[in-house]
Structure 1
Amino acid sequence: MSSCYILGSRVDVLTLAAAVDRVKEFIAAGTPHHIVTLNAEIAYRASREPELQAVINRAHLVTADGAGILWAARKLGTPLPERVTGIDLLQALAAEGARQGWRFFLYGAAPGVAKEAAARLQRENPGLVIAGTAHGYLSRDEMPRLIADIKAARPHILFVALGAPRQEYWIAAHLKELGVPVAVGVGGSFDVLAGRAKRAPAWVQRLNLEWLYRVLREPARVKRTAALPKFMMAVMRQAKGG
């Protein structure tokens, strides 16, 4: 599997279908694997935060989550075939998991959201096994119980929706202890599945303007998107050999 490096962070060159195939291989292997869905904001932060970049580059699979990553890869002469976002990967794995008999565990988001997301996934994918859920507002003292619950549930795939980069650090810290074949950070995916947040229409996604749609619906995101111009400038410097 080939990869490219954007501001020092690895991104694997693959389609959504290929990512699902890789997950099948990870599950067959049975050993713990970490998947990162990388967007431009986190790639820029990682370029200034060596610990985060190390977590990303140690991951077993890194997908292109967002138009910014696709743009950067083209600019650097290593184009990627398509976006592989957290929510798209989650839904594709749910469909495959229902066929394969995989067990899922959903951890993150506000109280009640993971359960609502799980219910929708099961409605859309009859036979899908959700082995457990937990919200993302647990204290440090509650963490040992969460770890024990996940281990007891024996999921094939653990989805973690704590927001980036918190979810990446959490997975990296607990992956070996959990022994889960696949752990993947999926950002705000549970909120979308639960109906608490609305995803951009398909035509907006095709135009690679999903980020703008989010800002218009959630003006508080403006501060986060302020990193995008800095990301673009840094990529252009990299493209020029700077």
Structure 2
Amino acid sequence: MQAAENTRTASPYQVGKSRKFFEFDSSLRGGKGHGVRIANKDALRTPGLITFAPPPEKGYGFAELPEKPQLVHYPKEGKMPRDLEILHGYLIVSERLKRVFEDVDAAGFEFVDCDFTLADGSQGPQYYLADVVRVLDAIDEGASKIRIKYERDYRKNEDVKIYSFLGPTSLVFRDQVVDGAHIFRTPYADNIFCDEVLKSACKVAGVTGPHFINVEKM
């Protein structure tokens, strides 16, 4: 597992004075989607969970995995993966997209090397499981159009804040909090956000799969 500290770090990419931010996701594809499955997902799951997923105490990143994830492509289930897909709450990224992420903002990600087997039993191209591990409380709630609700966390015996992005949403980020980060998540939702630097780098690299939604009009 290749881990990165959950901190903001400087990047060689220039940040403009007027930054644009985007929600980062995998775009929908027609038909069945991708046909990649994790053959050994039961062996990888965190104790106490019924499926392989991010550890519940954080909600992101990876627990210590007992073995290497085994990705398998099943043509009947869907197409070959693009540079970016999503599975079990994680990003599946190609070698090409991993290089983009590391060049732009390596500290924002955690990667896990995977074996990838094609339907005929041959070895497929290199893919990784990845997750965004930088968490920033960067949304300016007063300047944003956002719904905030509170739900009871019975494990902690307290009410927890949750952001809801259903319906018309417009987000403003505090530049002093985002600082030099190019990708991050908020502590109050599962959504991932990035700036125009990462978006542009993906476009230049010609990667397939990423989808960017302008946060000024979600």
Q: Could you say which TM-score interval applies, normalised by the shorter chain?
A: under 0.3
* Higher percent of residues as helix: 1
Structure number with greater CO (CA < 8 Å, separation at least 6) is 2
